[in-house]
Amino acid sequence: KAGVTQTPRYLIKTRGQQVTLSCSPISGHRSVSWYQQTPGQGLQFLFEYFSETQRNKGNFPGRFSGRQFSNSRSEMNVSTLELGDSALYLCASSPTTGMNYGYTFGSGTRLTVV
């Protein structure tokens, strides 16, 4: 079956702009999480959604937001982009939120802010 699909794969934006990234989870998966990966900070948790509700949020400023639709697809938005937002943004999905369920990651969206 199809894996986690993230679009676009690459994106270049200018400081001050806003960006929306999309994630389509594996069919039947209802939990979607987002992570940011940078060389300096590694992989850091952004937020998790389950059944259209944000269940948990990492330590990121309010410029980072997300949502989940009824079909479990998710989007994340970053407003007023800063150079430091340049990163690989990864989406991961899981059937549910239980601790005994692993997450399947997508290939990510590489965002470059210039």
How does DSSP classify residue 25? Answer: P
Q: Mark the segment that binds another protein (CB under 8 A) among 11-19, 65-73, 74-82, 91-99.
A: 91-99
Distance (Å, whole) CA 78 – CA 82: 9
Residues 21-80 that bind another protein (CB under 8 A): 33, 35, 42-45, 48, 55-56, 58
* 48: CB partners within 8 A, 6+ apart: 31, 32, 33, 34, 54, 55, 56, 57, 97
Closer residue to another protein in complex, CB, 64/103: 103
Query: Quick check: 11 binds another protein (CB under 8 A)?
Result: no
Q: Are the C-beta atoms of residues 93 and 68 closer than 8 Å to each other? A: no
Site residues (CB under 8 A) for another protein? 4, 33, 35, 42-45, 48, 55-56, 58, 88, 90, 92, 97, 99-100, 102-108, 110
